[in-house]
Amino acid sequence: MLKKTITYVDYDGNERTEDFYFNLSKAEIAEMELSAEGGLTKLIERIVAAQDGKKIVEIFKDLILRAYGEKSPDGKRFIKSPELRDAFAQTEAYSELFMELATNADASTAFVNGIVPIAPESK
């Protein structure tokens, strides 16, 4: 899970700093891998190699919104819904994050690494 602190200016002109949470479960990653021909990783490699800016933007938007959610108060669930995603996408926080990832390769790499679950080490 990735906790991202984002500072943005809301639509009333107020500067806000808030924490937002992003995560993809192992099941979500598996679903994404199986839905793309050759797997998601290969799809991303082909798009980057082709330098298809439109596809890269679509993938970043999908990753951000697919990973966005809110932790339950007891920490047992990571709640995702179309309503939560839409609400986040309508904020300037989303815009700030999207622009950061679109213009900063290190930030985008850190984001992807932060939302992908780490497999536990074998003992």
User: Has residue 53 been placed in a domain?
Assistant: yes
State the pTM of this model: 0.83
Res. 121 pLDDT band, cuts 50 70 90: very low
Position 120 in a domain: no
User: Whole domain around residue 104: which residue ranges?
Assistant: 2-115
Q: How many helices (H) and strands (E) does the chain have?
A: 6, 4
Q: Looking at the domain assignment, is residue 122 inside a domain?
A: no
Q: What integer pLDDT is reported at residue 50 of this predicted model? A: 67
User: How many domains in the chain?
Assistant: 1
In a domain, 68, yes or no: yes
Within-domain flag for 60: yes
Does the residue 123 lie in any domain?
no
More confident residue, 32 or 96: 96
Give domain status of residue 95, yes or no.
yes
Q: pLDDT, tens digit, for every residue of 25-44?
A: 989 988 888 887 777 777 67
